[in-house]
Amino acid sequence: MPRSFFLIGSLLISPMTAIAHDNQSEMAPHGQQTCITSNGAPTHDMGEFPNRANPNAFTEQTLRFCFPSSPELANDTTYNAMTVGVTLSGVPIRPYTAGYYDPNGRQHNIGPNPDSGWRQQAMHDPNRLGMDAENAHVDKAGLYHYHAMSPSYAADVGSHIGFAPDGFEIHYAGDTITSSWQLKSGVRPTPPHGNYDGLFEEDFEYAAGSGDLDECNGALVDGEYRYYATDAYPYFPRCFKGTIEGRFMTRR
């Protein structure tokens, strides 16, 4: 894997209003780990932020992602990480949202109160979250991050797109690899009720053997474990089979 400094200019690919920011990123060994540092800007143009559905502005910042250089499968699977990976260009992969079904929520009955147990699924209606054409947007801290695969980044970088917190590679294979997560059938048993339609994370369930990948969107390839970004839910790994050492993402 490359471990050299690279400075990549922006590409005008997005069909919507696009803003150019120079990506600055570096990948280098640090003891038993590999660390990617970046200014948080992508290698492609991003959409305009703030926008009508997203009031946040992009802010360059110092990001650092560290993971084992020689990843190993662990005895236990790790869940509940907000940042599930980092691209080779140093942009965080954060597929979850902070919104839940909340009858008192300000926007379409979505709010920060998690008591309902129904978490908003970002890619059900990305326009509602003000995402750009790269399936990304900006959070309150100005952090640009992906919720699903960026078409421009995929076209530019190829199969190997980044790393998970346990050090295993994340690859993208388009529609040639399918997830084993499926939309449930039937009706939600608690408010907001209604048919399972993908609006919430809990509308999906893992169906072993229904696709090519395990519950973490991973598989063994030629004896080596790797994760996949998929075109359908869950889009990126949401759990991890390897050992995670320390804090994956830091910023200042």
Sign, CA torsion 196/149/172/164: negative
- Tens-digit pLDDT profile for residues 153-185: 999 998 999 999 999 999 998 889 999 999 999
Count CB atoms within 10 A of the CB of residue 52.
8
Helix (H, G, I), strand (E, B) or coil at 154: helix
pTM > 0.85: yes
Of 188, 187, 170, 178, whose CA–CA distance to 241 is shortest? 170
pLDDT average, residue stretch 187-209: 98
- Tens-digit pLDDT profile for residues 213-232: 999 999 999 999 999 999 99
pLDDT at 9 over 60: no
Residues 45 and 133: their CA atoms lie apart, in Å, by 10
Domain boundaries, the chain: 5-251
Distances (CA, A) of 70 to 15, 73, 78, 107, 223: 39, 10, 18, 44, 14
